[in-house]
Structure 1
Amino acid sequence: MDEAASVMAAAATAVLQQMALDGWAAARSRFTAFLARRRGTTESQEGAELDRMRADLAQARAAGDDEALREFRSDLAGRFRRAVRGDGEALRELGELAAEFTVEQHQTQIRDVHNSVTGGTHYAPVIQTGSVGRIDFGGRS
Structure 2
Amino acid sequence: MEAELVALASAGATALVQQMVGDGWERARTRIAAFFAARSGVTEEAVGADLDAAREELLRAERAGDEEAADEARTEARVEWRARMRRSLLADPRSADELRAILDELGTRPQPGTVVNNTLSGDVHGIAFQIGSVGRMTNHMSGDGGAEARRP
- Which TM-score bucket, shorter chain as reference? 0.5 to 0.7
Q: Does the 8 Å contact 1:18/1:27 carry over to 2? A: yes
Q: 2:76 aligns with which of 71, 74, 97?
A: 71
CA RMSD of aligned residues (A): 1.9
The C-alpha deviation readout for 1:16-51, integer Å capped at 9, x for no partner, is 111112211111100000000011110000000000
Q: Secondary structure at the match of 2:42?
A: coil
Identity of aligned residues (%): 39
Normalising by structure 1, we get a TM-score of 0.67
Q: 1:96 aligns with which of 90, 95, 101?
A: 101
Corresponding letter in the other structure for 1:100: E
Corresponding residue number in structure 1 for 2:61: 60
Write 1 or 2 for the structure with the bigger share of strand.
Answer: 2
The C-alpha deviation readout for 1:59-83, integer Å capped at 9, x for no partner, is 2233212122111101000111122
Q: Larger Rg: 1 or 2?
A: 1
Corresponding letter in the other structure for 1:70: T
In the alignment, the residues of structure 2 paired with residue 74 and residue 34 of structure 1 have an alpha-carbon distance, to the nearest angstrom, of 18
Poorly superposed stretches of 4+, deviation over 3 Å: none
Total equivalences in the alignment: 104
